[in-house]
Amino acid sequence: MKSFEVVFQPGGLETEIPEGSTIMEAMHRAGIDADFPCGGRGKCGKCRVKILAGGGEPAAVEREILAEKELENGIRLACAAKIHGHMTVQLPERLRHNILIASGERAYQIEPHLRKVYVELEKPSLDDLRSDWRRFRDTLAGHGSDGTGPALPLALLRRLPSTMRKAGYRLTAVMHGDKIAGFDGGDSTATMLGMAFDIGTTTIVGYLLDLYSGRELGVVSTLNPQTGFGADVISRITFAGREKDGLYRLHNAVIGAINNLVEEAVEKAGASREQVYGISVVANTCMHHLFLGISPENVAVAPYVPAISEPLVVDAGELAIDINRAGKIFILPNIAGFVGADTVAVLLATEMDRSEDVKLVIDIGTNGEIALGTKDRIVACSAAAGPAFEGAQISSGMRGAAGAIDHVYFGDKLEYSVIGGGSPLGICGSGLLDTVAGLLELGIINKRGKILPLEQIANTSALRFKDHLTEYEGESAFLLAGASETGHGRPVMITQSDIRGLQLAKGAMAAGVRVLMEVYGIQAGDIKEVLLAGAFGNYLNPHSACMIGLIPPELEGKIKMVGNAAGTGAKLALLSSSEYSRAADIAGFVEFVELGSYPKFNSIFAECTYF
Amino acid sequence: MKSFEVVFQPGGLETEIPEGSTIMEAMHRAGIDADFPCGGRGKCGKCRVKILAGGGEPAAVEREILAEKELENGIRLACAAKIHGHMTVQLPERLRHNILIASGERAYQIEPHLRKVYVELEKPSLDDLRSDWRRFRDTLAGHGSDGTGPALPLALLRRLPSTMRKAGYRLTAVMHGDKIAGFDGGDSTATMLGMAFDIGTTTIVGYLLDLYSGRELGVVSTLNPQTGFGADVISRITFAGREKDGLYRLHNAVIGAINNLVEEAVEKAGASREQVYGISVVANTCMHHLFLGISPENVAVAPYVPAISEPLVVDAGELAIDINRAGKIFILPNIAGFVGADTVAVLLATEMDRSEDVKLVIDIGTNGEIALGTKDRIVACSAAAGPAFEGAQISSGMRGAAGAIDHVYFGDKLEYSVIGGGSPLGICGSGLLDTVAGLLELGIINKRGKILPLEQIANTSALRFKDHLTEYEGESAFLLAGASETGHGRPVMITQSDIRGLQLAKGAMAAGVRVLMEVYGIQAGDIKEVLLAGAFGNYLNPHSACMIGLIPPELEGKIKMVGNAAGTGAKLALLSSSEYSRAADIAGFVEFVELGSYPKFNSIFAECTYF
């Protein structure tokens, strides 16, 4: 199959994509976490892009949605326009924020952690009997190394004699500060690649980067194989503690996944593992510990202290990560047991530590992390939202994967979008939010979350959805898709219990926001910007989030999606040693607020469960 | 079986020994490399010691050799006096030099490489959520650590959370300089043991030491299991290069032996592996490389450069050496491909680097190392003596083990001593030396090494040995023990070829000494002291060595045996970080002289093969 190159402007981010893919798919592949409100069905018209070069005939849905004039000017729908040749695409303002973050192109200076120095050694002779190591060290001393550092790790020293002889006494030293981290035979200075990893509880994403230019060469991702041992953080901590070799198996699983992703990324980019010298890692505190092979057990019990929060640089070999032998792993610092390096990376990417204005950053998940602040003060907490946002423990719930209803529209009739198109199989968190928000607006459910009986619904326009009101296992429910519409022949619905589940989840998040505002001493109106990070935050409908009170309603106009900001933070920390140090500063600067011990937390939480 | 404690004075060196052992055996066990000229047969009377406390009835041989007055004063023969109770023994002046060196009791300051710091940590609480690592580091910062060092190695970090909790937040940090090398749960400051290892091509000797007091707690030794892959350095280098996993197998063999010796030593001393924190290692350059798992192949080909000569401190875990996890391995530096860390250790033990007078140090072996100098200049070389001194490639030759004729006396009739007593099985290097020296003195062989026919022997007193003159496989030979006298029913003799072998060996050593004197610009008469190191040097008869010209004859009165000075150097380097640094200074200070490229070497060597 043919494939073509798509270049996105501004930013110049490039990606290769098979013929017949849509521009939306190319954006996904390039790591641009854009928002497709209708799920890419060509319905909402929100994904307008401008084709600057290349491009073919518009599809039928494009002709429907776009004006003749727009089509003349090269405006197309990213979700519908197919790629049949090399193409340059201009992203609209609305998406630029995402791509700039996604491609790590907020202002930063490339300052590689590692430095390569090519040296040609004198050959040993009877007049020059220095040991191989001494010869190497002395020669480097003339090239900026002080030559007094400690010897190489033994594993590298063992390779020195044969490598230097096979390469005709020409070596490239890889320096980490003053220390020799390793060496390649010959002159390898032309290339130095790295990978930034965001290890999520569910998904691991890796970005392949050129450490010299900062250019992104590819994005790879996989399901975190630890899901096989437990879906969430707590079940994995339990597994690590109870099962034989539990910690070791979890550790090995994530290391194996990282090694596979490195292989996949370099293969796609036509490079090799040996060209990868640095890896940065962000993760929540539990995933961080499991990645390092450190028991996370104490993260799960009060007072929830991590084994280590400080930034950590580890030899790749120490973690059995198969990259260049000189390779280093740069692990970002944690803040607390449930506010990990991923949150630090989000703060780094969004530069809250340099913001004059008060920003609120929310990463919604089973454990939602919330941070609030400016350059002068940042407070952060973790809210135990539970699994509702992930679609778990919801009657028709599922993850935000193919077949999930991710958005619901209450127009003349009920409409919804399904991830990947096709018939629905269930509903994911963003769809649940839209549904409950819509039912609230229509007065079908009340402030306490109760689905009202038909006779109590005051809003007559709500009655057009009366056929959707039904019962399931003895409780009220709202039908989204009848059995005949779905992919598995079972109806997809929202039950009263599902709404209760969502209330607990949003209540926890909203209470977290409220407590942080109290601790900080501000009102919602003082917040200038709300940044939603992470996969879920990127897909939810801001209006729905405000409607149900997940986010204070007065902030609706200030919400921005920042895509995978944790991944962006990981990239920044990989490309710039200053940004890596800055991550440590951020982790040390943030005040952690333990919600469970906040005096009024229980009453705030109870209040926040109402809509 | 009962065992008793024997204390040697001066020095206070103690050892435990089973009932019925001789004082000589106790001296061996205590690591006192004394000289027993007759091989411990109660013949020469050279091993007189004075019993200060304890002791029982003298043996028959003691009554024969010792005067009544001596016996009254507690004088006994170390080789014959048996131990039947606790005992204190005074060593004579002649042996003191050895014991002082052997027990590491030349003047030195104990300056442990490692330091233990006991700390009690604050327990984590909601008001103090520091990570485990941060908590530990911060607490240590109040105890002399600067608290800014890099994090612990991952392997240690993984154990920190559980160790600190199990021990009730009481930890003992093990510091190596500013860095935390590891930690023990609870207060382990009372004990810190270490082991000094001398890894010889044939034998590995380990000394268990108290790192606080310097007290020697035991000595263990074993055959180097690498002998199974090749008897000498060159055959092992070949094995490492040619056989599948050759290097790995050789490396594993020596590491296994070290682990076994640690186990044996701590068990005998009633201690545990976990109480051993430091190990120092001296070895020749090839053994040094194999110990580290580094290929020694380039040591075997011109210009014979080592992979590394510099001192190296390695984590015990990196070498799979099973001691305390904080344990460090201190490897002494090499000088050149065939002048290794063992020679550095000998120079350190004998303090040539501080000597006002010119000293000559000789370690005789297959590769003999020779050093000559003062505090102002030291030159060293390696002489390829070949295997004759080890008894190899000698018709009746054997190692200096039980059954070997180690000394020969040409009195009224021929007498010899056998190691371990009993019937002879062969002859070792020192016996070969005595025999050839005696035959030379008697004029039975001439200056060119030829065994003269009976009619050409001028010295009539030589004729009393005429029955020993015989033939073996068509060449002249000198019979030491007839078939009826030996343990295996075959005669033990010296053939013309054996004498040629010895001529090559002593010629190489003598040429080395000659070249060093030329390079240094001195005559033999300028040398104030000749120190013979190593097992062979310790057992040979100095007169014989001078008679055959192995050592310049004018130096006969200046010869001292220094026992296992390499082991002593290893002990000094383990007990004192200054002495370890001094070893590096010595290695850097010594001028290596490559004999093969010395202009007149071939003619000097040829000349030196004559007697």
Which residue in this structure is represented by tokens 């078939």? B483
Identify the residue among B294, B314, B597 best suited for mutation to test binding to A, counting A beta carbons within 10 A and taking the highest. Answer: B294
Looking at chain B, the whole-number percentage of residues with pLDDT higher than 70 is: 94
Q: Please check whether the two domains, A193-331 and A350-387+506-543+552-608, share a CATH topology.
A: yes
Task: Provide the pLDDT confidence category of residue B145 given band limits of 50, 70 and 90.
Answer: low
Among A147-161, A414-428, B103-117, the range of highest mean pLDDT: A414-428
Asked if A6 contacts A23 with a C-beta cutoff of 8 angstroms, the reply is: yes
**How far away is chain B from the Cα of A302, in angstroms, using its nearest Cα?**
8
Region of poorest pLDDT, from A11-25, A392-406, A538-552, B356-370: A11-25
pLDDT at residue B529 tops 80: yes
Q: Tell me the HSE value of B608 on the side-chain side, using a 13 A CA sphere.
A: 27
- Per residue in B377-400, pLDDT tens? 999 999 988 888 888 889 999 888
Average pLDDT over residues A490-510: 95
Burial class (CB in 10 A: 0-12, 13-18, 19+), A487: middle
Average pLDDT over residues B4-28: 82
Tell me whether residues A307 and B126 touch, CB distance under 8 A.
no
Task: Map residue A11 onto helix, strand or coil.
Answer: coil
Task: Map residue B582 onto helix, strand or coil.
Answer: helix
**How far away is chain A from the Cα of B359, in angstroms, using its nearest Cα?**
25
What are the distances in angstroms from CA A276 to CA A267, A272, A569, B136? 12, 7, 19, 34
pLDDT at residue A144 tops 60: no
- Per residue in A114-138, pLDDT tens? 999 999 999 999 889 999 999 999 9
Identify the residue among A131, A255, A321 best suited for mutation to test binding to B, counting B beta carbons within 10 A and taking the highest. Answer: A131
Looking at chain B, the whole-number percentage of residues with pLDDT higher than 90 is: 67
Structure tokens given for A280: 């940065």
For A125, which residue in chain B has the nearest alpha carbon?
B303
**Spatial distance between the Cα atoms of A181 and A183, rounded to a whole number of angstroms:** 7
Q: Which of A183, A115, A185 is nearest to A144 (CA)?
A: A115
Tell me whether residues A129 and B161 touch, CB distance under 8 A.
no
Residues on chain B touching A304 (C-beta within 8 angstroms): 129
Identify whether A306 is preceded by a cis peptide bond (ω within 30 of 0): no
pLDDT at residue A2 tops 50: yes
Name the CATH superfamily, with its identifier, for domain A350-387+506-543+552-608.
Answer: ATPase, nucleotide binding domain (3.30.420.40)
Tallying the residues shown for chain A, one arrives at 611
How wide is the angle at C-alpha B401 spanned by C-alphas B399 and B405, nearest 5°?
80
Tell me whether residues A134 and B307 touch, CB distance under 8 A.
no
Asked if A206 contacts A265 with a C-beta cutoff of 8 angstroms, the reply is: yes
Burial class (CB in 10 A: 0-12, 13-18, 19+), B343: buried
Residues on chain A touching B319 (C-beta within 8 angstroms): 154
Closest residue to A310, CB basis, from B134, B318, B337? B134
Residues on chain B touching A158 (C-beta within 8 angstroms): 292-295, 307
The full DSSP string for B234-250 is HHHHHHHHHSTTHHHHH
What stretches of B211-333 adopt beta strand conformation (E)? 216-223, 276-283, 312-315, 328-331
Closest residue to B125, CB basis, from A153, A303, A314? A303
Q: Which of B386, B396, B391, B495 is nearest to B445 (CA)?
A: B495
Tell me whether residues B161 and A295 touch, CB distance under 8 A.
yes
Closest residue to A131, CB basis, from B131, B292, B305? B305
Q: What pLDDT was estimated at residue B149?
A: 53
Burial class (CB in 10 A: 0-12, 13-18, 19+), B412: exposed
Average pLDDT over residues B490-517: 96
Q: What pLDDT was estimated at residue B97?
A: 37
Average pLDDT over residues A91-98: 57
- Per residue in B204-217, pLDDT tens? 999 999 998 888 99
pLDDT at residue A469 tops 80: yes
- Per residue in B312-336, pLDDT tens? 999 999 999 999 999 999 999 999 9
Residue type (1 letter), A83? I
pLDDT at residue B143 tops 70: no
Q: What pLDDT was estimated at residue B90?
A: 85
Q: What pLDDT was estimated at residue A606?
A: 95
Task: Map residue B120 onto helix, strand or coil.
Answer: strand
For B309, which residue in chain A has the nearest alpha carbon?
A131
Among A232-236, A350-354, B100-104, B226-230, the range of highest mean pLDDT: A350-354
Task: Map residue B403 onto helix, strand or coil.
Answer: coil
For B125, which residue in chain A has the nearest alpha carbon?
A303
pTM score, whole prediction: 0.78
**Spatial distance between the Cα atoms of A387 and A367, rounded to a whole number of angstroms:** 9
Asked if A74 contacts A50 with a C-beta cutoff of 8 angstroms, the reply is: yes
Tell me whether residues A305 and B157 touch, CB distance under 8 A.
no
Closest residue to A293, CB basis, from B129, B134, B154? B154
pLDDT at residue B99 tops 60: no
**Spatial distance between the Cα atoms of A169 and A123, rounded to a whole number of angstroms:** 7
**How far away is chain A from the Cα of B514, in angstroms, using its nearest Cα?**
20
Q: For domain B193-331, is the CATH number 3.30.420.480?
A: yes
Segments making up each domain of chain A, as ranges: 3-102, 114-185, 193-331, 350-387+506-543+552-608, 389-502
Asked if B597 contacts B303 with a C-beta cutoff of 8 angstroms, the reply is: no
Q: What is the CATH number of domain B3-102?
A: 3.10.20.30
- Per residue in A274-307, pLDDT tens? 999 999 999 999 999 999 999 999 998 989 999 9
Tell me whether residues A305 and B132 touch, CB distance under 8 A.
yes
Closest residue to A307, CB basis, from B131, B307, B319? B131
Asked if A257 contacts A265 with a C-beta cutoff of 8 angstroms, the reply is: no
Higher pLDDT, residue B529 or A15? B529
Higher pLDDT, residue B597 or B105? B597
Asked if A516 contacts A593 with a C-beta cutoff of 8 angstroms, the reply is: yes
Average pLDDT over residues B23-43: 75
ipTM field: 0.79
Task: Provide the pLDDT confidence category of residue A145 given band limits of 50, 70 and 90.
Answer: low
Tell me whether residues A297 and B161 touch, CB distance under 8 A.
yes
Q: Which CATH architecture has domain B114-185?
A: Roll (3.10)
pLDDT at residue A102 tops 50: no
pLDDT at residue B12 tops 80: no
Residue type (1 letter), B162? S
Tell me whether residues B307 and A336 touch, CB distance under 8 A.
no
Tell me whether residues A303 and B129 touch, CB distance under 8 A.
yes
Distance in Å from the first CA to the final CA of chain B: 51
Region of poorest pLDDT, from A171-175, A479-483, B35-39, B555-559: B35-39
Tell me whether residues B158 and A293 touch, CB distance under 8 A.
yes
Burial class (CB in 10 A: 0-12, 13-18, 19+), B159: middle
Q: A87-90 and B114-120 as β-strands: parallel, antiparallel, unpaired?
A: unpaired
For A592, which residue in chain B has the nearest alpha carbon?
B129
Average pLDDT, chain A: 90
Residues on chain A touching B309 (C-beta within 8 angstroms): 130-131, 133-134
Q: What pLDDT was estimated at residue A100?
A: 37
**How far away is chain B from the Cα of A122, in angstroms, using its nearest Cα?**
13
Closest residue to A161, CB basis, from B130, B295, B319? B295
pLDDT at residue A67 tops 60: yes
**How far away is chain A from the Cα of B144, in angstroms, using its nearest Cα?**
21
For B333, which residue in chain A has the nearest alpha carbon?
A131
Q: At what angle do helices A577-589 and A565-575 cross, to 10 degrees?
A: 130
**How far away is chain A from the Cα of B302, in angstroms, using its nearest Cα?**
8
For B156, which residue in chain A has the nearest alpha carbon?
A294
Task: Provide the pLDDT confidence category of residue A31 given band limits of 50, 70 and 90.
Answer: low
How wide is the angle at C-alpha B30 spanned by C-alphas B24 and B32, nearest 5°?
65
For A130, which residue in chain B has the nearest alpha carbon?
B305
Task: Provide the pLDDT confidence category of residue A572 given band limits of 50, 70 and 90.
Answer: very high
Burial class (CB in 10 A: 0-12, 13-18, 19+), A54: middle
Tell me whether residues A154 and B125 touch, CB distance under 8 A.
no
Identify the residue among B135, B176, B305, B331 best suited for mutation to test binding to A, counting A beta carbons within 10 A and taking the highest. Answer: B305
pLDDT at residue B413 tops 80: yes
- Per residue in A206-244, pLDDT tens? 999 999 888 899 999 988 999 899 888 889 999 999 999
The residues, any chain, with a CB within 8 Å of residue A457's CB and separated by 6 or more, are A442, A443, A444, A463
